């Protein structure tokens, strides 16, 4: 299944579109849209592309589809652009038109990729301002496995969009405001007042325990609940002591978060809920001015269109509680309003992407609807929710520790690195290899973190997936170690004397395994364009895995270093482009590569 560089594919499509109207004038006169239905061939024996557009023309023209296909092929024969691109078209089955790209064009395209640092992936012609909202942990809580998916999916999408040339703003919408702070500060005043006056007086683990205690008291102790709400009022009113306590708690959590981000090589800009606090009343005022706000049971609401409850009545999106306070919906509306507002009053974004768990889909659907009705989303802009499923244990349930607690992300990464290190040491013993501790530490860290990332990203984000260290650290199958080993294998060719950087005057391929690898390498640009549009990183993972499989078949079945002189340079060039493609693709997933493992 070939995906040529978009320029060649566009030329082929243009030639087909010119041939169709001439061959189907009656259908065109009847106002029927003509589509060649050009797509990659489903099997290699069918060529590189199939044009299936003759079949839907059979009924309006009253002719057998093979006869229509023959007329199209006759018109294509007069297309010089097509003759330069493809061998003679072949009609198959009921009227499919099979097209095979000329080998010399494939070789020329491969040579162009070798000379291009971007490997044939063009930058967008009209780059836009894109915001990717991801990760979003809560202050005074530790990052857990639930934050893993948002963090690495969001990072991968940001990397792809940046590579395509978009101006990407990575935002960490941390939970750093609201009732939970009044609750926590009130509790700490009584049990650990030093935490509100001195930095790092208690560690984050203790802070998490204090938070749980405060939440339990808030749910059961009315005087404590009232005191907590009073503390929120003081915080929102700018009380210096409350703000100092809040700042210390935020700073401590922020440092802990950053340690995780550093391990995962994540770059992200924090802009928490508190950033939008000054904008919340304006959101309510704007909705009221637009005639959207309805006061119901004392609360300010916008009733959603097309969304009904069990009683058949429209469901409300509450934006101001009956006590005058605000909630998550208010903050998210303020964020959309700010992010899409023109600069300098806002971010001036054209596309805003929210990477959160699938359980928030209804919330964001309601927020997006209200924002559109309020006129805050310009016609040329888009807001998109990128949902993801749960990380599950072997039992198919939400991943938890044996004691039933949520798995801390720090612990999960530690175990991944530890297991990768144990696997490496075992292999070194089997191979009777001696390596420095620094080498083993680097490999264990790279492989362990890569395995965790890739196992997540290679799964369609919409579905749940079962977390398994054994599976994700395997050297076979669709895993990070398998892909990393392919890069190491190619680096080994260079260590054995293969000149991967040598100039190749002309590329010559004759073996089926060579042509299969050529065709696979030429799919990269379209795959990345698909990820950019569909926001599915597993598409890139699937492509890289398939590329590794095709390369390994080539490497195992076709000599490279012992190739005849006339073939050696071309085969080394295939190895070089394969390594470059894997490094680029893995880099877009946030995974560095190794020269040795």
**6-101 maps to CATH 1.10.287.3510:** no
Rounded distance between C-alpha atoms, residue 281 and residue 277, angstroms? 8
Question: Which residue ranges make up each domain of the chain?
Answer: 6-101, 179-270
The secondary structure of residue 44, as a DSSP letter, is: G
pLDDT value for 280: 93
Rounded distance between C-alpha atoms, residue 376 and residue 293, angstroms? 15
Contact of 82 with 112, CB cutoff 8 Å: no
Contact of 163 with 382, CB cutoff 8 Å: no
Total-model pTM: 0.91
pLDDT value for 403: 66
pLDDT value for 1: 40
Phi/psi zone of residue 498: left (φ > 0), alpha (ψ -120 to 50 degrees), beta?
beta
Count CB neighbours of 496 within 10 A: 9
pLDDT value for 31: 52
Contact of 209 with 163, CB cutoff 8 Å: no
DSSP string of 238-262, one letter each residue: T-HHHHHHHHHHHHHHHHHHHHHHH
pLDDT value for 3: 47
pLDDT value for 590: 98
| 3-state per-residue secondary structure call for 278-325 | HHHHHHHHHHHHCCCCEEECCEEEEEEEEEECCCCCEEEEEEECCCCC
pLDDT value for 394: 81
147's enclosing H/E stretch is helix 145-163
pLDDT value for 503: 74
DSSP string of 352-403, one letter each residue: EEEEEEGGGHHHHHHHHHHHHHTT-S-TT-EEEEEEE--EE-TTSSBPB-TT
Instruction: Give, for all 597 residues of the chain, the pLDDT tens digit.
Output: 444 545 667 777 787 777 776 666 655 554 555 678 888 787 888 888 888 888 888 887 788 889 988 988 888 888 887 888 899 999 999 999 999 999 999 999 999 999 999 999 999 988 999 999 999 998 888 898 889 999 999 999 999 999 999 999 999 999 988 888 889 899 999 888 888 888 877 777 788 888 889 999 999 999 999 999 888 888 878 889 888 988 888 888 898 899 999 999 999 999 999 999 999 999 999 999 999 999 998 999 999 999 888 888 889 999 998 888 888 999 999 999 999 999 999 999 999 999 999 999 999 999 999 999 999 999 999 999 999 999 988 888 888 776 667 788 999 999 999 999 999 999 999 999 999 999 999 999 999 999 999 999 999 999 999 999 999 999 999 999 999 999 999 999 989 987 888 777 789 999 999 999 999 999 999 899 999 999 999 999 999 999 999 999 999 999 999 999 999 999 999 999 999 999 999 999 999 999 999
Cite the beta strand spans of 136-198 per DSSP E.
167-172
Tell which residue, 338, 323, 358, 4, has the closest CA to residue 169. Answer: 338
């Amino acid at each position: 299944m070939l995906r040529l560089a978009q320029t060649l594919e566009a030329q082929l499509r243009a030639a087909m579109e010119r041939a169709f109207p001439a061959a189907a004038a009656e259908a065109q006169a009847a106002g029927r849209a003509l589509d060649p239905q050009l797509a990659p061939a489903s099997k290699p024996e069918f060529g590189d592309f199939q044009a299936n557009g003759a079949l839907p023309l059979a009924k309006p023209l009253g002719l057998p589809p093979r006869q229509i296909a023959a007329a199209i092929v006759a018109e294509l024969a007069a297309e010089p652009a097509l003759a330069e691109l493809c061998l003679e078209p072949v009609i198959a089955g009921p009227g499919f038109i099979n097209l095979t790209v000329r080998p010399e064009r494939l070789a020329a395209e491969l040579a162009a990729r070798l000379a291009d640092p971007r490997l044939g992936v063009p930058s967008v012609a009209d780059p836009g301002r894109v915001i990717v909202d991801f990760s979003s942990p809560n202050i005074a809580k530790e990052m857990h496995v639930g934050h893993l998916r948002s963090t690495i999916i969001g990072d991968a999408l940001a990397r792809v969009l940046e590579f395509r040339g978009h101006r990407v703003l990575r935002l960490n919408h941390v939970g750093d405001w609201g009732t939970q702070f009044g609750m926590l500060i009130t509790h700490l005043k009584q049990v650990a007042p030093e935490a509100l006056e001195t930095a790092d007086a208690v560690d984050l683990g203790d802070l998490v325990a204090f938070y749980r205690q405060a939440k339990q008291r808030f749910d059961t102790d009315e005087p404590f609940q009232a005191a907590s709400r009073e503390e929120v009022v003081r915080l929102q009113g700018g009380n210096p002591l409350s703000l100092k306590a809040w700042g210390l708690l935020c700073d401590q959590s922020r440092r802990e978060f950053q340690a995780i981000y550093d391990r995962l090589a994540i770059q992200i800009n924090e802009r928490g809920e508190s950033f939008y606090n000054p904008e919340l009343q304006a959101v309510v005022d704007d909705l009221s001015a637009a005639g959207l706000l309805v006061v119901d049971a004392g609360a300010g609401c916008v009733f959603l269109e097309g969304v009904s409850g069990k009683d058949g009545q429209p469901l409300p999106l509450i934006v101001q509680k009956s006590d005058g306070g605000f909630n998550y919906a208010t903050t998210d509306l303020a964020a959309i309003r700010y992010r899409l507002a023109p600069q300098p009053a806002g971010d001036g974004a054209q596309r805003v992407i929210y990477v959160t768990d699938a359980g928030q889909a209804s919330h964001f659907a309601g927020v997006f609807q209200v924002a559109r009705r309020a006129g805050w989303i310009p016609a040329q802009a888009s807001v998109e929710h990128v949902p993801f499923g749960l990380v599950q244990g072997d039992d198919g349930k939400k991943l938890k520790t044996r004691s039933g607690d949520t798995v801390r992300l720090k612990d999960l990464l530690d175990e991944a690195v530890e297991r990768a290190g144990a696997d490496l040491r075992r292999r070194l013993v089997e191979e009777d290899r001696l390596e420095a501790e620094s080498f083993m530490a680097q490999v264990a860290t790279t492989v362990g973190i890569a395995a965790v990332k890739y196992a997540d990203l290679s799964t369609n984000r919409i579905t749940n997936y079962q977390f398994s260290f054994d599976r994700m650290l395997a050297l076979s199958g669709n895993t990070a170690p398998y892909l990393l080993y392919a890069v190491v294998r190619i680096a080994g060719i260079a260590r054995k004397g293969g000149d991967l950087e040598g100039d190749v005057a002309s590329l010559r391929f004759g073996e089926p395994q060579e042509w299969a690898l050529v065709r696979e390498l030429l799919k990269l640009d379209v795959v990345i364009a698909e990820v950019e549009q569909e926001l599915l990183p597993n598409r890139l993972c699937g492509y890289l895995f398939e590329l590794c499989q095709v390369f390994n078949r080539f490497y195992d079945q076709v000599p490279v270093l012992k190739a005849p002189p006339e073939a050696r340079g071309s085969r080394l060039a295939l190895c070089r482009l394969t390594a470059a493609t894997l490094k680029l693709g893995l880099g877009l997933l946030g995974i560095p590569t190794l020269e040795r493992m």
